[in-house]
Amino acid sequence: MSPTQPPYQVTDPATGEVLQTFPYATGAEIETAIAAADTAFTAWRQVPIAERAAIVQKVSDLFGERAEELARLSRQEMGKAIDEGKEESEFSQAIFGYYATEGPRLAADRPIPTSEDTGGTAMVEYRPVGPVLGIMPWNFPTYQIARFAAPNLVLGNTVILKHAECVPQTALAVAQIMKDAGVPEGAYVNVFATHEQVETIIADRRVQGVSLTGSERAGAVVAALAGQYLKKCVLELGGSDPMVVLDSADVPKLAETAWDFRVYNNGQVCNSNKRMIVMEDVYDSFVAELTEKARAIDLATHAPMSSRRAAEAIDEQIKDAVGKGATLHAGGVLGDGPAAKFSPGVLTGVTPEMRAFHEELFGPVAVVYKVASEDEAVELANATRFGLGGSVFSADVERAKRIARRLDVGMANVNTPAGEAAELPFGGTKRSGFGRELGPLGFDEFCNKRLYYIAD
């Protein structure tokens, strides 16, 4: 175990109180988990896909039935508001339901037209590959599992799930949902693994791939291990998504949209609109609207961030910016410890000399930039090492579409901060990672797209 790795424990971010601690898995338990997933794969892949899909539909139903329970766990473990926790569980329900419904179609053989010289009959078959490891983050503790587990279970892979150390109760609750829905033993295995045990799992010849959602640092480590052991990997890493405002006939309404998306889950969202890039003719009114919303928030009643460490991290970034000349219009106040309170803020005047210009701000701070032209807006939007998502707003849809096509991102959106649904692929480019989850593309990632050719 790494000496710096935190234990699996429940720490209430509203109080800083440690409520429960869970032991790390032993080496024997890790071996048992891998062996169970490998053994289960042999049988699970032979179950007709319609039957696998029916079991995954039961998983979907249970996410709906237990939404309140899962929301309470999220609030206790990482500070998520109850209504947002229920929304997350309902989205997880929709994802499992989508793959239960669409999975058989997505897995169907696809014919390849052959030339006269080639002849014969050719098709691509969609086959499972075996046990796959998912390394999940804390910010959306059920939704992240759904994105990974749902398509793999329908396809016929088995899942080994290593969740974030701060959400062990949620990890166990989801494992119970799988069991109660009839997912066979070994087809979904939760492990409280250490960092070293994660390498053990990736290295094991029985494990065929790994998917991680997390930080750049974690992504680099996992990608290196996947390369070392020749395993397929999918990475969804950080983001510093631009929201480009070209014009607006209703600035208050647009500012409300921007603010609500930025502070959702206390700003702890990978594809949040972390950089608002606003044309100079609407900039002042836009900033004023955001500032008014920030000033209206009472820190005492506002939900905590996920941990004291997370709150202190965003506080340090804001202090660095203000110390170098940025303007904090409202909010941005770190509450007394050990609670994880941090008030949503509005920051302008950020320049390349500041950490806030280059780093991901994983907390409820709206950073607003002023630009004078479309070209300047695009240049600033793309001036980041990240490339997860981005959005463009304009009353002229064709204008917004034209600018959105110039964004170097994995997900470009017009007149909405983000297009999000079970059927819409999610993923980025540059240092935001590679590979896709959700939708038809998410089904393909850990899939043997096998050529099947029959000569004449």
Give the residue numbers annotated as catalytic, written as ranges.
Answer: 236, 270
Given a contact cutoff of 8 angstroms between Cβ atoms, the answer to whether 367 and 276 are in contact is yes
Rounded CA-CA distance 190/210 in Å is: 14
What the block records as the tokens of 317 is 């970034």
Rounded CA-CA distance 95/60 in Å is: 8
Q: Which residues of 224-240 are buried (b: 16+ CB within 10 A; e: fewer)?
A: ebbeeeebebbbbbbbb
Rounded CA-CA distance 193/60 in Å is: 26
Rounded CA-CA distance 66/230 in Å is: 39
β-strands 429-430, 232-236 pairing? unpaired
Rounded CA-CA distance 345/292 in Å is: 10
Pinpoint the alpha helices (H) of 107-232: 143-155, 168-181, 195-203, 216-228
Given a contact cutoff of 8 angstroms between Cβ atoms, the answer to whether 402 and 244 are in contact is no
User: For residue 46, with 0-12 CB atoms within 10 Å meaning exposed, 13-18 middle and 19 or more buried, which class applies?
Assistant: exposed
Rounded CA-CA distance 143/158 in Å is: 18
